[in-house]
Structures are given as C-alpha cells and as structure tokens.
Amino acid sequence: MNNRVKPIYGQITGWGAYVPEKVLTNHDLPAALETSDEWIVQRTGIRERRIAAPDETTCTLSLHASRAALAKAGIGPTELDLIIVATSTPDHHTPPVSSQLQHALGATDVPAFVVVTGCTGFVYALSTAYQFIHSGAYRNILVVGVELLSRFVDWTDRSMCVLFGDAAGAVVIQATEHSCGLRSFVLGSDGSQSEQIIMHGGGSARPFSQEVLDNRQQYVQMNGREVFKFATRVVGPTCEQAAAKAGLTLADIDWIIPHQANLRIIQTAAKLMDFPMERFVVNIDRYANTSAASIPLALTENLESGRILPTDRLMLVAFGAGLTWGAAVLELSPR
Ligand code: UT7
C-alpha cells in the first residue's frame, strides 16, 4: 500500500479585472497643479489613469473583477471556501471590505479577510491563499487586489496625485493534483522605514480631528526619492531569491509582472537583473500606480490578449508601504 500523501497544487482557473470608465489623461489635470505631461511621462511613464465614479467604492470595483474571475473559472460564489482582499483603501476602516465583498457576491457565510501590505498586498495575499490550498484546508479561493487611491491622495499635491489610479483585479485558485501554481515566494518588511509612505491621520496614533484635516493628514504622503531608491534596490535580489527557492534561475522565467509604480524603476531593475525589458509586463502608461491592483490587472489584461499563456512561468514582484516587498514564482496551469 502506498501511504504517501499526494501533494496538493493550486491552479489559477479564473482571472478578471475592472477599471472605472473615467480616463484622466495628464493633459486633463487641473492647471493649478503646475505639472505637465512631459514631466509626468519622463519621470514615471504615466500617461493616463482611471478615476472611480462618485457612486463607486472599493467594494464595487472588487465586485466587478471578482465576478469576471468566477465566471472565467466557471464556479459560483457559494462554491468559494475563502476570500482574501488585498487593499489599503477600503470602503471603511470597519467593517472589513472583504466581508462587504463576500455579501455583495452572494458568497453566503464564506470566510473573508483583508491583507494590508500596501502595494505588495497582492503578492502577500496570493502567497497566503496558497498556504490554505497546500495544507488541504480549502479548495477554492478568490484573491482580489483592489485600490481606490483617488480618494486618498491630495489633489492639490502634484507630487502625489498624478501618480495613482483606481482599479481591481482578481484570481480564482482551485486545488488540483496536477503540478502547477505557486512554486515559491519571498516576503519581506522593514518597519524602520514606515514613514516613507504614510497616512498620518485617522488611525489610533492620530485620530481624525480638525488639526488632522487642517494639516491634510487624511491623505497618503510619500518620500518618492527614498521609495524609488528602495524599489530599485529590492526588485532584482527578491526575484533572484524567489527563483532560487523554486530551484530556478531568472533565465527560466517567461514573464516578470512587476508592481507598476514607475517605468524608470522597472527599466533600472531590468538592467540590474540583466533581464530583457520586453519580458517585463508594463501597463503603467494607461493606469498609473494602482497599488495592490496593479499585478492582477496586468496579469488579466495580458492573459486576455493572449500575450501571456496560462502555461507560462511568471515572476510577480512588488514593493510598497511598510516598507514591504515580495516576489512569487507562479505557473497558472500545468506546463
Ligand atoms: O507604489 C508604492 C511605491 N511608490 C513608488 O515606488 C514611487 C517611487 N518614487 C518615484 O516614482 C519618484 O520618486 C517620483 C515619480 C514620485 C518623483 O520623481 P523624482 O524624479 O524622484 O522627483 P523628485 O521627487 O525628486 O522631484 C523633483 C522635482 C521637484 O522640484 P525641485 O525641488 O527639484 O524644484 C518637485 O517639486 O520635480 C518636482 N515635481 C513635479 N514637477 C512637475 C514633483 N512632482 C511634480 C509634478 N509635476 N507632478
């Protein structure tokens, strides 16, 4: 008798994304910001971003992406065993937006929670989801990366508001006996740099008050230069560590899907890693930085266009508030 337990893998059977209809190009930005298309394109690669309509929220953005991912997977919301939402811009501090999404989907009684690790959120959430799959605890998991940053940036601060956009992306992971899924992951955080990206107001340290509002501390603030340096330093080594943990080298990776924060960060990382730029997935020009949504949005777009195949081997890599970072080697389907 063979007593060996068969490993449990997780196939990505569904994917979906949603971006709001409203396109805000660099040319549409208010003149009072004293910025220019030239500055934004040269420094960031961003040409336009999507802005949520007044009646849209983080929950409704997630709902569109989740429904698309479930439809693609061919399963209904009640078949889910778990929902994980990565976001730093929920509808409310409390309740968790994951429960709001669970209800809106009609996923009755399905457990749901939020992962808050800034722009690295999707890599953390995906790695977490796979632990439930690999342990055999759950068979069908929805992982969402969503952000509605246009409501959390100061629209009078040109150094911040031009950088971000709103979006949601989602994947469905289903347990399978066939070898595929998350091959490795690397996660990290360095709280000594927590002030580099911070929303000072509205938490226990500085509850909302007139003073918070007067100092515009209800908005996210970022030390762009420091975060830029950190990002270019961390992307290459993190990808190399994730590849090594999977028993691979970067030469075995078909596509790198990086968090879309700045085209220059991606170009610098490509050079440092000696990995061809045309094998990096880039869509920052059209959506700007959508934080935890950027990777599942880029993944969905490129799977839908046929540029990325489900049998390709992917490296996901992200960095953000915390500061946090993470990378994962992912094979959506058996190769
Ligand atoms: O997703 C989370 C992680 N976030 C990131 O990875 C972002 C990382 N950082 C960056 O992408 C870049 O640092 C930025 C795009 C945010 C800024 O680019 P930079 O080349 O580092 O510019 P800077 O902050 O050093 O500013 C240079 C100049 C300043 O003027 P002075 O002081 O040199 O006169 C800024 O006031 O550019 C000015 N500036 C702008 N000018 C026109 C800043 N923002 C703008 C703007 N339009 N929108």
Measured from the Cα of 231, ligand 1's closest atom is 6
Which of 118, 150, 179 is the endpoint of a domain?
179
Q: For residue 165, which amino acid is it?
A: G
Tell me the best of 189, 225, 325 to mutate to test the pocket of ligand 1, counting ligand atoms within 8 Å of each CB and taking the most. Answer: 225
- Which CATH number fits the domain that encloses residue 147? 3.40.47.10
Amino acid at residue number 142: L
> What pLDDT sits at residue 2?
59
Q: How far apart are CA 320 and CA 79, in angstroms?
A: 33
| pLDDT recorded at residue 7 | 84
Per-residue pLDDT reduced to its tens digit, 58-105: 999 999 999 999 999 999 999 999 999 999 999 999 999 999 999 999
Q: Does residue 127 contact residue 274 with C-beta atoms inside 8 Å?
A: no
4 has pLDDT over 90: no
Q: Is the pLDDT of residue 1 over 60?
A: no
The Cα–Cα gap between 222 and 50 comes to: 21
- Does residue 231 sit in the same domain as residue 258? yes
Indicate the pairing of strand 82-86 with strand 112-115.
parallel
Residues with catalytic annotation?
Answer: 119, 259, 289
Q: Which amino acid is at 320?
A: G
Q: Best mutation site among 49, 232, 262, 323 for ligand 1, i.e. most ligand atoms within 8 A of its Cβ? A: 262
pLDDT over 70, % of the chain: 99
Give the rounded percent of residues in the chain with a pLDDT score beyond 90.
98
- Residue 24 counted as domain residue: yes
Q: Which helix (H) or strand (E) covers residue 140, if one does?
A: strand 140-148
List the beta bridge partners of residue 329: 184, 315
- Cα of 39 from ligand 1 centre, angstroms: 9
Q: Which atom of ligand 1 is nearest to the CA of 159?
A: 44
Judgement on whether residues 303 and 160 belong to the same structural domain of the protein: no
CB atoms within 10 A of CB 92: 11
Q: Cβ contacts of residue 203 below 8 Å, gap of 6+?
A: none
More confident residue, 2 or 35: 35
Mean pLDDT in residue range 122-149: 98
Residues 204 and 300 in one domain: yes
Burial 14-52 (b: 16+ CB within 10 A, else e): bbbbbbbeeebebeebeeeeebebeebeebbbbbbbbbb
Among 25, 123, 156, 228, name the best residue to mutate to test ligand 1's pocket (greatest count of ligand atoms within 8 A of Cβ): 228
Rounded average pLDDT over 119-139:
98
Q: Which of 179, 213, 228 is the last residue of a domain?
A: 179
Residue 171 pairs with which residues in a beta bridge?
15, 143
Mean residue pLDDT of the chain comes to 97
Do 282 and 151 fall within a single domain? no
C-alpha 139 – ligand 1 centre gap (Å)? 44
Do residues 170 and 45 both lie within one domain?
yes
Å from CA of 225 to ligand 1 middle:
7
Q: 191 and 155, same structural domain?
A: no
Beta bridge partners of 20: none
Q: Provide the pLDDT for residue 5.
A: 76
What local confidence, expressed as pLDDT, does residue 175 receive?
Answer: 98
Residues having CB closer than 6 A to ligand 1 are 35, 39-40, 43-44, 119, 158-159, 162-163, 224-225, 227-228, 231, 261-262, 265, 289, 291, 320
Domain check: are 175 and 188 in the same one?
Answer: no
Tell me what pLDDT residue 165 has: 98
**Domain, as residue range, for 194:** 183-331
Task: Give the model's pLDDT for residue 124.
Answer: 99
DSSP at 279: G
In the reported structure, the alpha carbon of residue 9 is separated from the centroid of ligand 1 by a whole-number distance in angstroms of 42
Q: Beta partners for 83?
A: 112, 142
Q: Please give the average per-residue pLDDT across 247-270, as a whole number.
A: 98
pLDDT exceeds cutoff 90 at 3: no
Q: Name beta bridge partners: 331.
A: 181, 313
Q: How far apart are CA 275 and CA 314, in angstroms?
A: 13
Closest CA to 144 of 255, 253, 254, 300: 300
| Residues in Cβ contact with 95 at an 8 Å cutoff, skipping those fewer than 6 apart | none
Mean pLDDT of 195-202: 98
Same domain, 259 and 138: no
CA distances from 125 to 141, 168, 246 (A): 11, 14, 19
Q: What is the pLDDT of residue 45?
A: 98
Confidence check: pLDDT of 255 > 60: yes
Work out the pLDDT band at 148, boundaries 50, 70, 90.
very high
Question: Computed over its alpha carbons, how large is the radius of gyration of the chain?
Answer: 19
Q: Is the confidence at residue 208, as pLDDT, over 80?
A: yes
E strands, 149-211, in order: 166-176, 181-189, 197-199
Dump pLDDT digits (tens) for 42-59. Answer: 999 999 999 999 999 999
Going from the C-alpha of 4 to that of each of 1, 7, 178, 216, the distances in angstroms are 9, 9, 16, 59
> How many domains does the chain divide into?
2
State whether 66 and 93 are in the same domain.
Answer: yes
**β-strands 166-176, 324-331 pairing:** unpaired
